[in-house]
Chains A and B, each alone.
Chain A
Amino acid sequence: MIDLAPRNPHTLVIATPVIAAAGSLGDVVSVARWLGLAQPAADHGLGAIISATVNLVGRHGHPQLLATPAGALYRHGGASLGVKQVRERLAPRWASYHVPVLVSIAGDDAAAVAAELTDTPGIAGFELALPALSVSEAAQQVAAIRRATLLPLLVRLPGELPDPVAIAQACLAAGADAIALIGGLPACMPQDDGSLVYGRLGGPAIFPVALRLVAAVAAAVDAPVIGMGGVATPEHARAMLNAGACAVALASALVADLRRAQAIAGGL
């Protein structure tokens, strides 16, 4: 058992060190039956699940997912779940799962979403996805979320920060319980017609970059660090844990294959 929020009275105890990264299982409900999330003894390998991004008002958006060499490029396209949808339809289902579900929040309404959902049964905590910000901006955002909720709060850092150690320290000082990194790298890919799709690159292609940043942050902070970015095999996960992470999060690998968490948890 691993506690991802040891200083938070609510705690966030996970049974395996493998987490489904934000959106890798969509709204979670769609794939619950494949993973057996409602069954107490299911062997899905997941210690926690982070939902797709939630905004005050949900949007269908136009997300894109393109194959790249040893990876995938994801364009968010403005897609998100809405607070009403989560409160009325999704969270009651999440509450019946035998694995904690956290809500991913991002953007200007992140604190408002956290405030709206903090007392909703079925939500074990929040994950704030930070864009590339300065240290003070990041601290302000985290502090705003902390004022809105006392539930465990993970902060996900992008891969293109000039000083991720300083940002991570500032986030923890502002009230974050744990740091997750990296949330992909900015990239683009051509479509069939030659036009470029801009998004974030994930998959094994970015694993070496992620490992380096995870090692740097884990060595500098006294809080749980979740290694993510290209984790797709037990060897990747072991390298992240050896570098100081206490858990790993799967994104594109889980989108591509629901069995990946089980394979990694079983292989550790």
Chain B
Amino acid sequence: MHPYYTATIRERRQIEGLVWLSLAALELARTAQPGQYALARPSRSLDPLLWPVIFLAGADPAKGLVELLIDPRQPATAWLVDLPVGIAIDLCAPLGTPFVPAPATQTLLLAGAGAALPALLFAARRHARRLSIALLLAGDEQYLPPPFFLPETVEVQTSSAGDTALFDLLAAHTPSSPIRWADQILFALPPNLLGDAAAAMRTARLRWERGLAQVVVAGPMPCGLGVCRACQIETRNGWQRRCIEGPVLDLRDIRLR
């Protein structure tokens, strides 16, 4: 049994600077969960030899569709932007451990910036019926996912002042910080912002228990199957491979330097 699929592009939309693709992939749509990712490559091609990482932005098991949100500024995935409807691409997916809210969770804060942002959209759409969800997104103007992707019940705040503006949205030092409101938090961040996220948690909650704050850690995962070890991250449980033991990790467990 291999985690490989050939998926056909069913729909393509340009949304400001981003490109949204809906792909027909029946079995993948059934099994994919928020936080998981795909490795993607043009069908029948050996270049690029290494498949780039794309976090899944959604999956509809009933329709057999999975969704990708492509930022054309990322060189590794820019080739996806120009593909027309009807073209097939190879996917190795769904990979990695997903984010699963705790049974007791009622309020969920999703906050992120960077390449893993689509994972938050997926989580918001998958869990909006059961949970009260706030979604905070930061990035560059024209490259933030539009709120119309999301159910109306999801409260969305965005900042187009760059990735670090996320921590202004979190307002960790204020009594009304969404970090205090949430039963559970899922960040989506590049590795260089993990320390800022931990600092925001400490400021807002002083101490927090394991499971409260999880993070989808972006970054290269060249093989996706735990072979090359190029994605190792140091945690309290030792060095872990983001590609199979993540990319969703407990923020408390990550050793920050």
What chain A residues lie within 8 Å of B222 (beta carbons)? 65-67, 72, 255
- Given the contacts A60-B239, A63-B230, A65-B230, A258 and B225 also touching, CB distance less than 8 Å: yes
What chain B residues lie within 8 Å of A233 (beta carbons)? 46
What chain B residues lie within 8 Å of A67 (beta carbons)? 48-50, 52, 76, 222
Within the complex, the shortest CB–CB distance from B129 to chain A, in Å, comes to 34
- Any B CB within 8 A of the CB of A30: yes
- A33→B1 contact, CB < 8 A: yes
- A70→B46 contact, CB < 8 A: yes
Say which size band chain A's interface belongs to.
35 or more
- Any A CB within 8 A of the CB of B51: yes
Residue in contact with A256 in the complex, picked from B2, B50, B229, CB distance below 8 Å: B50
Residue in contact with B49 in the complex, picked from A25, A256, A258, CB distance below 8 Å: A256
- B227→A24 contact, CB < 8 A: yes
- A64→B49 contact, CB < 8 A: no
Per the bound structure, the CA–CA distance linking A252 and B222 in Å amounts to: 10
What chain A residues lie within 8 Å of B225 (beta carbons)? 30-31, 34, 258
Residue in contact with A63 in the complex, picked from B47, B51, B92, B228, CB distance below 8 Å: B228
Main secondary structure of the interface of B (DSSP, over half): loop
- A34→B49 contact, CB < 8 A: no
Within the complex, the shortest CB–CB distance from A39 to chain B, in Å, comes to 10
Interface set, chain B 38-58, CB cutoff 8 A to A: 46-52
- A255→B229 contact, CB < 8 A: no
Within the complex, the shortest CB–CB distance from B139 to chain A, in Å, comes to 17
- Given the contacts A26-B229, A63-B228, A256 and B223 also touching, CB distance less than 8 Å: yes
Per the bound structure, the CA–CA distance linking A79 and B92 in Å amounts to: 25
Interface set, chain A 81-96, CB cutoff 8 A to B: none
Interface set, chain B 151-189, CB cutoff 8 A to A: none
- Any B CB within 8 A of the CB of A232: yes
- A34→B2 contact, CB < 8 A: yes
Interface centre among B46, B48, B226, B232 (most CB of A within 10 A): B46
Task: List 21 contacting pairs A-B, 8 Å CB cutoff, sorted by A.
Answer: A26-B226, A26-B229, A30-B226, A30-B227, A30-B244, A31-B225, A33-B1, A34-B225, A63-B230, A65-B220, A67-B49, A67-B50, A204-B46, A204-B49, A232-B46, A253-B46, A255-B222, A255-B228, A256-B51, A256-B223, A259-B4
Taking beta carbons and an 8 Å cutoff, which residues of A are in contact with B? 23-26, 30-31, 33-34, 36, 60-72, 74, 79, 203-204, 232-233, 252-253, 255-259
Taking beta carbons and an 8 Å cutoff, which residues of B are in contact with A? 1-4, 46-52, 76, 92, 220, 222-223, 225-230, 232, 238-239, 244
17 new A-B contacts, CB < 8 A, other than A65-B220, A255-B223, A256-B223, are: A23-B228, A26-B228, A30-B226, A60-B229, A63-B228, A63-B229, A65-B223, A67-B49, A68-B49, A70-B46, A72-B222, A74-B228, A79-B229, A203-B49, A204-B47, A252-B49, A258-B225
- The 5 A-B residue pairs whose C-beta atoms are closest, nearest first, are A26-B227, A65-B222, A30-B226, A60-B239, A65-B230
